[in-house]
Structure 1
Amino acid sequence: MSISPETIMQIDAISAAYIDLAFAIERHVEGFVDAYFGPPELKAHAKHREPAEIVTALASLREELRASDYPQQRKGYLESQLRGMETTARRLAGEEIAYRDEVRACFDIEPAHTPEAVFDAANAELEALLPGQGSLAERIALWRRSFEVSPEVAQQMIAVIAAEAHARTGTELIALPENDSVEFALVSDKPWSGYNWYLGGGRSLVEINTDLPIRAGSLLDLVCHEAYPGHHTEHALKERLLYQGRGWGEHAIQLINVPECVISEGIATLAADMIFGDDAYVWAAEQIYPLGGIVGDPEREARIAKAQWVLRALSGNAALLLHEQGADPEDVVRYIMRYGLRSEREARQSLRFISTPLWRTYTFTYFVGRDLLGRWIAQGDRVERFRQLLTEQMYPSMLLDQ
Structure 2
Amino acid sequence: MRAFLLGLLMLVGACATAPTPAADPTGDNLDAIARDYVALILEIGEREPGYVDAYYGPAAWQEAAKASPRTVPQLIQGAATLTERLNAVPTRGVEPAVVQRRKYLLSHVSAASARLRMLSGEKMSFADEAEALFGIRPELMPLSSYDPVLAEIGALLPGPGSLADRVTAFKAHYVIPKDRLQPVMDAAIAECRRRTVRHIDLPANERFTLSFVGDKPWSGYNYYLGDAASRIEINADFPIYTERAIDLGCHEGYPGHHVYNALLEKTFVRDRNWVEMSVYPLFSPMSFVAEGSANYGIDLAFPGDEGTVFEREVLFPLAGLDPSTAEKKAQLGALQRRLARAEYTIADDYLAGRVGREETIARLSKYSLADPAKAAQRLRFIDTYRSYIINYGLGRDVVQAWVERQGPNRWDGMETLLSSQILPVDLLP
TM-score of the two chains, using structure 1 as the length reference: 0.94
Cα distance change, pair 10–112 in 1 and its aligned pair in 2 (3 A): farther
Give the SS at the match of 1:206. strand
2:394 to 368, 376, 379: 368
Report the more deviating stretch, 198-207 or 124-133: 124-133
* % identical aligned pairs: 34
Q: Is the 8 A contact 1:257 1:361 kept in 2?
A: no
Match in the other structure for 2:327: 299
Cα distance change, pair 98–134 in 1 and its aligned pair in 2 (3 A): closer
CA distance in 2, matches of 1:369, 1:325: 26
Using the TM superposition, give the Cα deviation of residue 177 of structure 1 relative to its aligned residue in structure 2, in angstroms.
0.8
Using the TM superposition, give the Cα deviation of residue 298 of structure 1 relative to its aligned residue in structure 2, in angstroms.
4.1
Q: Is the 8 A contact 2:288 2:424 kept in 1?
A: yes
Match in the other structure for 1:193: 219
Match in the other structure for 2:10: 8
Give the SS at the match of 1:111. coil
Give the SS at the match of 2:411. helix
Q: Does 1:21 align with 2:47?
A: no
2:275 to 249, 252, 273: 249
Give the SS at the match of 2:140. coil
Match in the other structure for 2:260: 234
Q: Does 1:342 align with 2:376?
A: no
Aligned positions of 1:40-55 closer than 5 A: 40-46=59-65, 47-55=68-76
Task: Please give the per-residue CA displacement for 1:337-358, whole angstroms capped at 9, x wherever unaligned.
Answer: 22222211011001111112xx
CA distance in 2, matches of 1:371, 1:48: 38
Q: Is the 8 A contact 2:365 2:371 kept in 1?
A: yes
Aligned positions of 1:3-402 closer than 5 A: 7-9=9-11, 12-46=31-65, 47-69=68-90, 71-171=98-198, 173-278=199-304, 279-296=306-323, 297-356=325-384, 359-381=385-407, 382-400=410-428, 402=429
Q: Is the 8 A contact 1:100 1:324 kept in 2?
A: no
- Aligned-residue Cα RMSD (Å) equals 1.8
CA distance in 2, matches of 1:276, 1:114: 29
Letter in 2 for 1:130: L
Using the TM superposition, give the Cα deviation of residue 374 of structure 1 relative to its aligned residue in structure 2, in angstroms.
1.4
Q: What are the ranges of 5 or more consecutive residues in structure 2 without an aligned counterpart?
A: 14-30, 92-97
Using the TM superposition, give the Cα deviation of residue 311 of structure 1 relative to its aligned residue in structure 2, in angstroms.
1.8
Task: Please give the per-residue CA displacement for 1:359-385, whole angstroms capped at 9, x wherever unaligned.
Answer: 122111111101111111122322221
Consecutive aligned runs of 4 or more in structure 1 exceeding 6 Å deviation: none
CA distance in 2, matches of 1:303, 1:252: 41
Larger radius of gyration: 2
Q: Is the 8 A contact 2:343 2:367 kept in 1?
A: no
CA distance in 2, matches of 1:98, 1:289: 44
Using the TM superposition, give the Cα deviation of residue 10 of structure 1 relative to its aligned residue in structure 2, in angstroms.
6.4
Q: Is the 8 A contact 2:125 2:348 kept in 1?
A: no
Using the TM superposition, give the Cα deviation of residue 69 of structure 1 relative to its aligned residue in structure 2, in angstroms.
4.8
Q: Is the 8 A contact 1:154 1:216 kept in 2?
A: no
Q: Is the 8 A contact 2:6 2:32 kept in 1?
A: no
Task: Please give the per-residue CA displacement for 1:261-312, whole angstroms capped at 9, x wherever unaligned.
Answer: 0000001101121112111111111011111121224432322111111222
Report the more deviating stretch, 313-322 or 282-291: 313-322
Give the SS at the match of 1:398. helix
TM-score of the two chains, using structure 2 as the length reference: 0.88
CA distance in 2, matches of 1:134, 1:329: 24
Letter in 1 for 2:269: Y
